[in-house]
Amino acid sequence: MANVSKKVSWSGRDRDDDEAAPLLRRAARPEAPAGEGSPLLNGAGPAAARQSPHSASFQIGQMSNVEPDDELLNPEMDPPHPFPKEIPHNEKLLSLKYESLDYDNSENQLFLEEERRINHMAFRTVEIKRWVICAMIGILTGLVACFIDIMVENLAGLKYKVVKDNIDKFTEKGGLSFSLLLWATLNSAFVLVGSMIVAFIEPVAAGSGIPQIKCFLNGVKIPHVVRLKTLVIKVSGVILSVVGGLAVGKEGPMIHSGSVIAAGISQGRSTSLKRDFKIFEYFRRDTEKRDFVSAGAAAGVSAAFGAPVGGVLFSLEEGASFWNQFLTWRIFFASMISTFTLNFVLSIYHGNIWDLSSPGLINFGRFDTQTMVYTIHEIPIFIAMGVVVFLGLCSMP
């Protein structure tokens, strides 16, 4: 039985795939010379002897004595393409922008030698640095939450004052149309500015940021997701969106903001500022950075709701896929520092230094009755109660 093969040049991969469509359709036609079997079941044929040293061939159909280039360029040998031309190789896939993080440590010879050089004292120092970084994450996340709350309060107060003065002015004349137009114009201006800085400066800051942080914690490296510029645009965007009257909240942006803060502090350098502070160099690995980002996300939830336990549960249940017992305590510590910093600074801002009445960004204001709040002098009592309960639980069989 005769061997049937066709030579197809693969050296010109730069040509569009639609040029090869006529050859493929011609090869797939069922008309075969009499006496010849299925071309796909035969071995290499004589046509392979004519193969150029710069090309490769595979068996796809009938044997032809016409060179592929001549067959492709001759329009009389094949009818026009009945379907729209498709160029799959020119399609830009969204996933091409992303890659995975290195969550597995490279246990090569250099890594093992470095680990062997770490003695007990150096190990203790590394652990202390981890707790210090978590404390810094909590403090800075709480300060960012304070900044957002204060800016929203002042800008919204200014907007309400302008609109109220305009209402008082035009109510006497019996018309509120201009006041309504002013209200809509101010809201539109705030929203427009917030949208433009996100769209044209840092698009990754769009939205709540929770899906991006979940992807990062599960090993997807999204460009610029934990950059300092992203933090600035995220904070500015949420301030302008809330002042503009949009139905948006602060939970998602605070999670993203806390994650950016954690990623920056744990690495001891800033890519946006192009500064390397030469600190925390031991933690410049994706595994270490991932754990601190989990703490930053929990600190963001804690600052938004005033709930440290809620922040830990968010990172445990919704965010991270890599967890251990020691990480739980460090994340809880960062969450407590975050909500305490927010509460303390906002109490000072509102003129009640020792009255911790602002545990989170979402609150119903300060109640008049003094029985509903606690002061900073009661915190040692709460700590003592926690220690007693902890020791009691440890002594149980």
pLDDT in tens, 345-389: 888 888 777 766 666 666 655 555 556 666 778 888 888 999 999
What is the share, in percent, of the chain residues with pLDDT greater than 70? 69
Cα 310 from Cα 214, distance rounded (Å): 16
Indicate the pLDDT class of residue 11, thresholds 50, 70 and 90.
very low
Average pLDDT over residues 156-178: 83
**What would the mean pLDDT of 253-268 be, rounded to a whole number?**
92
CA neighbours closer than 13 Å in the CB half-sphere of residue 125: 9
Cα 148 to its chain centre, rounded Å, is 20
Helix, strand, coil shares, percent, the chain, to 5: 60, 5, 35
Question: Which of 34-38, 143-147, 370-374 shows the lowest mean pLDDT across its residues?
Answer: 34-38
Q: What is the mean pLDDT of the chain?
A: 77
Helix (H, G, I), strand (E, B) or coil at 270: strand
Please say whether the dihedral angle defined by the alpha carbons of residues 352, 355, 356 and 357, taken in this order, is positive or negative.
negative
The residue ranking higher by pLDDT, 336 or 87, is: 336
CATH architecture of 109-395: Orthogonal Bundle (1.10)
Confidence band (pLDDT; 50, 70, 90) for 95?
low
Among 161, 166, 341, which residue's Cα sits nearest to residue 254? 341
Where do the structural domains in the chain lie, given as residue ranges?
17-91, 109-395
Least confident of 16-30, 176-190, 379-393: 16-30
Token digits of residue 135: 């404390």
Residue whose pair of structure tokens reads 């403090």 in the numeric block: 139
Outline where DSSP puts E strands in the chain: 99-100, 220-221, 269-270, 275-276
Residue 142: which of 333, 335, 284 has the closest Cα? 335
